[in-house]
A = this chain, B = another copy of it.
Amino acid sequence: MRIGELSRKTGVPVPTIKYYVREGLLPPGELTSPNQAAYGEAHERRLQLIRALLEVGGMKVAEIADVLAAIDDPERPVHKVLGTAADRLGSGGIEHDDAGSAAARAVVADLISRRGWRTHESNPAATDLSEVLAALDRLGHGAFAEVLDDYADAAEQVARADLRYVDQRVAVEDMVEAVVVGTVLGEAVFSALRRLAHVSASAKLYGTDVPQEQKPS
């Protein structure tokens, strides 16, 4: 398969494919001549993965490069890949560093110990969580912490489902990819489900909300 066919099959323009190769997201095709290269199914699959992480997962190209490098590295232990995949999420790294942050960190540490989670508050996810809680506090929504345990219950349930899904992969490389896909796309799945449940629940609570109306624009 040459690049044009790869482009047609995936819907990704040829120059974009070349760009991904340049950026290290996609391995180059196997050269059959100085200016002819052959691409296989692996390239097609990889390209789909790239597009999914970009469009659905909202990841940046450089982040995807990191994650894919982790996937491709057979030396890298599974939990490192998970870390690489997961760490790209979160606030983006804005530091506020006020009094509220310390309080938020304490809330997170308490939550972790209360639930018996085998992690430490130095975990990037824990840091992100404290930052979000600090932001909520700043907004006068510190009371949001009251529903934290409901959120945590739900998060545990989702995490169990994720592990169940990943666990039934046979080969290790499939498992690694399943972790990445599950982490990133699973986020999008849950987000959509939450919004659906939101609409439905508020309809039940506040009476018969019309299902959908379009504004005249």
Contact = CB atoms under 8 A, between A and B. Distances in A.
A164 interface: yes
B162 A147 contact: yes
Interface of A is mostly: helix
Nearest to A135: B52
Nearest to A166: B202
A75 interface: no
Contacts of A125: 192-193, 195-196, 199
Given A48-B138, A48-B139, A192-B129, A197 B155 contact: yes
Contact of A151 (B94, B178, B189, B208): B189
A87 B82 CA distance: 29
A91 B197 contact: no
A124 B139 CA distance: 28
Interface of A: 11, 45, 48-49, 51-52, 55-56, 58, 78-79, 82, 86, 89-92, 94, 96, 112, 115-120, 122-126, 128-129, 131-133, 135-136, 138-141, 143-144, 146-148, 150-165, 167-168, 178, 181-183, 185-206, 208-212
